[in-house]
Amino acid sequence: MTRNLFDLAGRRALITGSSQGIGLALARGLAGAGARIVLNGRDAVRLEEAAEGLRAEGAEVRTLPFDVTETDAVRAAVDGFEAGTGAIDILVNNAGMQHRAPLEDFPAERFEALLQTNVASVFHVGQAVARHMIARGAGRIVNIASVQSALARPGIAPYTATKGAVANLTKGMATDWARHGLQVNALAPGYFDTPLNAALVADPDFTAWLEKRTPAGRWGRVEELVGACIFLASDAASFVNGTVLYVDGGITASL
């Protein structure tokens, strides 16, 4: 049946940066499609709290705390999990950060932190997981890009650069790994009401601008990213590779 194309039963999904926000919403959504969930973050206590919440909803959840910016820690965690627990069939590279400042005053150390958290982590975790997927001849990787992969806005030029890099790294991963049976795509959210955007959500002037600028006329809700993520993680996307799927209320389609 057609709906079986979206069934993730029997598959395990690792979602980085998943103790809150978009990562936790995607974990909940993938669990609802039948996947077993592995939550990741640096704070083990917050991860366990998030895991307990999902378990109370009936999900099968494990936690795997590690710093996505540290190559050795990533490799040890992924290899140890694969050897001791089982295969990671789906990877969602969601971990990310934001810092807002005029470009001429942007602190160099914050720029470096953005590069490590938003770009290098996709490489580190993607490579560590993909090596196991390649050996099995199958796997799904969904990298979280952004509307800023295509558009810029004042005060976040370095963030825009990192999300442009995520979009192109996704294309490169697909180009290298599709022949091994992997599907690698990016999910690009528009403006969503998340902890990362809390300052903007609280700004009535920005919200008024966003509602006027976005054809849908509102902020996105994190639950509205779930369907697209399930699609990219499922058999429904078996010949979709290297694409960036924008879920943005139409903002990239209009002037």
The residues annotated as belonging to the active site are 159
Q: What's the number of CA atoms in the CB half-sphere (13 Å) around residue 1?
A: 3
Phi-psi region of 95 (alpha: psi -120 to 50; beta: other; left: phi over 0): beta
Q: Where are the beta strands (DSSP E) in the chain?
A: 12-15, 36-39, 61-63, 90-93, 139-144, 182-189, 244-247
HEC assignment per residue over 211-229? HHHCCCCCCECHHHHHHHH
> In 3-state terms, the chain is what percent helix, strand and coil (to 5)?
55, 15, 30
